[in-house]
Amino acid sequence: MAASDKDTPAPIVRFDTEPSRYRHWQLTTEGPLARLAMKVDDAAPFRPGYALKLNSYDLGVDIELADAVTRLRFEHPEVRCVVVTSAVPSCFCAGANIYMLGSSSHDFKVNFCKFTNETRLALEEAGDRSGQRYVAALNGVASGGGYELALACHAIYLQDDGSSAVSFPETPLLAVLPGTGGLTRLVDKRKVRRDLADVFSTLAEGVRGKRAKDWGLVDEVFPKSRFDDEVKKRALALAEALPGKEGPGVKLPPVAVERRDEGGKSSAEYRHVSVVVDRHKRVAELTLRGPSDEPAPSPAAFRERGVDNWAFALFRELDAALLDLRFNFPEVGLIVVRTVGDPERVRAHDRALLALAETDWLAREVVLHMARVLKRFELSARSIFATLEPGSCFAGSLFEVALLADRSYMLDAEGGPRIGLSPANFGPLRMANGLTRLETRFLATPARVAALAGETELLDAAGAAERGLVTFTPDDIDWEDDVRIAIEERASLSPDALTGMEANLRFAGPETMETKIFARLSAWQNWIFQRPNATGPRGALTMYGRPERPEFDWRRT
C-alpha cells in the first residue's frame, strides 16, 4: 500500500554461515592477530538485480562479517587484535551498495541498517569487554559505510598514497545520512570538531593523508611502502597489552531448527525455543524452555558442554529466532513470550554461569552474548507481551525477557506461576542505556532495586505485583479474556506509531553512544529514507548513476 515502497520480492533471509562458505571475506589468524580482509564477490549479491562493485556491501556481506565477529570471540580466544582490511587494490570499502538500497523496500532498508549497526557495536564491544580489539587498515578508499566500519574500530590507519581517503558521500551524493553509526561516532566517539565534521560530511571526495589525521578522522597515516609493517607493529602492540585467554576455543555449529508451514501458521522448532507465527493474527508466540539439566559442575565440564550449556544454546536459538522474525515475518506486530520450566533451575544455572564468568573467558563470552541477544530483542521493532502462566520459569536471566516486554500478564491463582530474581538481574545483562532493566523500570524509586536484591524467594502474582515486577495479574476468571483482548487490540494498532512509541518508552534514563545511534541517528535516517528527496521517483538515491540530476522539494523541515 505504501506507494513509495519498492516491490522487489524479499528473499528468505538465513543467517547461518561459516568461514568455508564465505563469499566476501577472508578470515585468517596468526598467533594473537587475525586478519579480516574484505573481497566482495560482485557477482554474488544477496538478491539479483545489482552487482557489488568496489567492495560495496549488502546484507549477505554483513551476515558473513557478523558471523566472523562472533566466531572470533568463541573459536579464537588466542586472538587479541583483528585487522580489518581489504583484499581489493586501492579500495577498502565503498559502503552499502547504492543500487541495493535504491531498490529495497523501506522496511528492508531499516532492518538492514539495524543489523549492520548491531554488528558494528558487537565488534566495538569485543574490544571493550572481551580483550579482542579491532583496528581498521584502510589500504584504499573507505567511503560511506566503509568508513563507518572503520569508525567502529579501536584505531584507524590510513594509507598515504595520494588516493586513499575516508569520506561520507551520503549527504552530497545520495541525500541520505551516514546512518550506520557514522555521524554519531564522528562527533561522539572520535569527538571530531563539529564544524570540521560538517565540512567532511558534505565533501563527496573525502579527506586524505595528513589532513585526515589532523581533523581526527583517522589515528595514523603511513606511506604505502611501510603501511603493512606499521599496522602490524601497532596491532601486535595492542594485542600484547591485552590479557591472554586460555584456549582452546569452542566451535560453533549451525543452530538446528525444524520449520513447518501449515494452516496459516509458520513454526520454527529449536531445541529450547519455539516460535509459532499466526500470519492472520500477525502474532508470534515465542516459547523459551528452561534447563532440563543441572549446571555444569566444573569449569572443565562447562568447556566440555560448550554450545550445549543451556543458556548458550537457548540464547543462540533466541537470536536466530529474532532475526528470522525481523526479516522474514515483517507483518508480525506482536511477540507474546512464554516460558516453560523450573524457575529454581534457571536461577541455579544463572548463579553457576556468573560465578564461572568471574574467571573463565568462555563463561564471560556466554554472558556477553546473552546481553547482546536481549538488546537485539528490545530493538526488534515489535511489541512484546510476556504471559506468565503455570509451569513457567520467568526467573533470573529469563525474567529479563519479562522485563524487556512492553507489559506482562501474570496469572493470579492457586498453583499459579512464580517468578524469581538472580544475580543476572543486577548487572551483567545491561540495556543499551547502560542501566539494568530493573534500574530502568524503577527510575523513580531506585531504592526498590536495592530492596529486590535481597529477595531470595520465588514470588507469586500478588508478591510480584506488590513489588511492581509485573503489569497485570488477572485471576482465573479474567485471564483468558484479558490476555486475548490485549493481544487483539495491540495487533490492531498502527505498526509505525507503535514502533515510535516503544522506541521512546523502552529506553528511559541516560543516553549512550549506542542509544544515540539507534534513537537520534536511526530515527532521522528512517525519516529521510521516507522522504521523496531521497527515495521518491526523482530522489537522489533513486536517480544515482543516471545522467539526470535529482529533483528536490526545497522546503526545509
Binders of a copy of itself in range 373-402 (CB under 8 A)? 381-382
- Report the phi/psi class of residue 175: left, alpha or beta, with left for phi > 0 and alpha for psi in -120 to 50: left
Among 196, 307, 413, 458, binds a copy of itself (CB under 8 A): 196
Among 70, 104, 167, 184, binds a copy of itself (CB under 8 A): 184
554 binds a copy of itself (CB under 8 A): yes
Of 26 and 530, nearer to a copy of itself (C-beta) is: 530
Of 79 and 334, nearer to a copy of itself (C-beta) is: 334
Query: What DSSP state is assigned to residue 517?
Result: I
Helix (H) or strand (E) holding 215: none
**For residues 344-373, which are near a copy of itself according to CB under 8 A?**
none
Which residues, 6+ apart, have CB-to-CB distance to 190 below 8 Å? 151, 216, 217
463 binds a copy of itself (CB under 8 A): no
Sign of torsion over alpha carbons 398, 292, 318, 490? negative
The rounded distance, in Å, linking the Cα atoms of 347 and 38 is: 42
536 binds a copy of itself (CB under 8 A): yes
Among 299, 434, 463, 468, binds a copy of itself (CB under 8 A): 468
Sheet hosting strand 25-30, strand order edge to edge? 25-30, 33-38, 81-86, 133-138, 155-160, 220-223
Among 1, 12, 43, 477, binds a copy of itself (CB under 8 A): 1
| C-beta neighbour count of 202 within 10 angstroms | 12
Closest CA to 400 of 379, 380, 423: 423
Of 50-58, 262-270, 473-481, 509-517, the window that binds a copy of itself (rule: CB under 8 A) is: 509-517
555 binds a copy of itself (CB under 8 A): yes
3-state secondary structure of 425: helix
219 binds a copy of itself (CB under 8 A): no
Question: Is 513:519 a contact under the CB 8 Å cutoff?
Answer: no
Grid cell for residue 380: 526488534
516 binds a copy of itself (CB under 8 A): yes
| C-beta neighbour count of 358 within 10 angstroms | 8
Among 79, 175, 221, 235, binds a copy of itself (CB under 8 A): 175
152 binds a copy of itself (CB under 8 A): no
Of 88 and 322, nearer to a copy of itself (C-beta) is: 322
Query: What DSSP state is assigned to residue 66?
Result: H
Of 33 and 540, nearer to a copy of itself (C-beta) is: 540
497 binds a copy of itself (CB under 8 A): yes
The site for a copy of itself, by CB under 8 A, has a size of 98
37 binds a copy of itself (CB under 8 A): no
Helix (H) or strand (E) holding 503: helix 495-505
Of 291 and 330, nearer to a copy of itself (C-beta) is: 330
Of 132 and 380, nearer to a copy of itself (C-beta) is: 380
Of 34 and 404, nearer to a copy of itself (C-beta) is: 404
121 binds a copy of itself (CB under 8 A): no
106 binds a copy of itself (CB under 8 A): yes
58 binds a copy of itself (CB under 8 A): no
**How far is C-alpha 461 from the geometric centre of its chain's CA atoms?**
33
Question: Is 80:242 a contact under the CB 8 Å cutoff?
Answer: yes
431 binds a copy of itself (CB under 8 A): no
Cβ burial of 236 (10 Å; 0-12, 13-18, 19+) is middle
Among 505, 546, 547, 548, binds a copy of itself (CB under 8 A): 505
Of 74-82, 237-245, 305-313, 325-333, the window that binds a copy of itself (rule: CB under 8 A) is: 325-333
Among 14, 190, 232, 271, binds a copy of itself (CB under 8 A): 190
296 binds a copy of itself (CB under 8 A): no
The rounded distance, in Å, linking the Cα atoms of 195 and 354 is: 46
Of 50-58, 138-146, 297-305, 486-494, the window that binds a copy of itself (rule: CB under 8 A) is: 486-494
450 binds a copy of itself (CB under 8 A): no
Residue span 154-173 as binding mask against a copy of itself, x where in contact by CB under 8 A, dash where not: ----------------xxx-
Question: Is 361:367 a contact under the CB 8 Å cutoff?
Answer: no
Q: Regarding beta strands 25-30 and 133-138, do their DSSP bridges make them parallel or antiparallel, or are they unpaired?
A: unpaired
355 bridge partner residues: none
Q: Regarding beta strands 165-167 and 273-278, do their DSSP bridges make them parallel or antiparallel, or are they unpaired?
A: unpaired
As measured in angstroms, the least distance from the Cβ of 46 to a copy of itself is: 19
Which residues, 6+ apart, have CB-to-CB distance to 69 below 8 Å? 119, 122, 123, 126
The rounded distance, in Å, linking the Cα atoms of 99 and 545 is: 9
Of 255 and 517, nearer to a copy of itself (C-beta) is: 517
Closest CA to 385 of 429, 335, 349: 335
As measured in angstroms, the least distance from the Cβ of 44 to a copy of itself is: 27
